[in-house]
Amino acid sequence: MSIKVSPSILSADFANLEKDCRMVIDAGADMLHIDVMDGHFVPNISLGIPVVKSLRKKSDAFFDVHLMISKPHLYAKQFCDAGADLVSFHLESDSDVMETINIIRSCGKKVGIVIKPATPTAEVYKYIDKVDLVLIMSVEPGFGGQKFMPVAVDKIARVHGKAKELGLTDLMIEVDGGINEKTAVMCKYAGANVLVAGSYVFGAQDVADAVAKLKA
């Protein structure tokens, strides 16, 4: 599977969100990573349903929505209806995992499951054949601009190995946090095929070059 780049719009200029989102897609990004935080599951508050709905009216890009919220089962359908193409939620949340997966599936959307740096990869194995994507956090969720945690590389390799063992050739393995041209290399060799990058892409002088380096 080719490498896909999903820039986190948390690093975009919110006063020019439509323009910035169009810029990174035109520069070669494959999707837009939309971080949703509730101030409870993580100690920060970010974008919500109205922003996704408004942005969908201005963009036909693939929306990769990452729910960092305590009760994703209560809001997953609303995000799907607002325009999400893929909804990922945390294994560590308070919601029943299979119930949440089924809600997203019932909306006809792709589904992802996310694990924090301290969560063992084995915890996700029972659901790996039921989702389209596994997102491995390489920072503690909640804030952009954090330093990459090398423990993520081994976790990516473990999930990649399990997917290969089960013949899940279409599984997307995404990594989020501290991604740049150097950390991307380690992640790709370990088996990641979707890279989330915020400040590295949106803060680049040459956005197309930044995206190309992540894919190279």
CA–CA distance, 207 with 204 (Å, rounded to integer) = 5
CA distances from 61 to 43, 65, 92, 98, 188 (A): 28, 12, 28, 27, 23
- CB-CB contact of 193 with 159 (8 Å): no
Q: Annotated catalytic, 81?
A: no
CA–CA distance, 94 with 108 (Å, rounded to integer) = 23
Which one from 20, 30, 35, 64 is the annotated catalytic residue? 35
Q: Annotated catalytic, 13?
A: no
Which is nearest to 180 in space by CA: 55, 54, 5? 5
Which one from 170, 176, 206, 209 is the annotated catalytic residue? 176
Catalytic residues: 35, 176
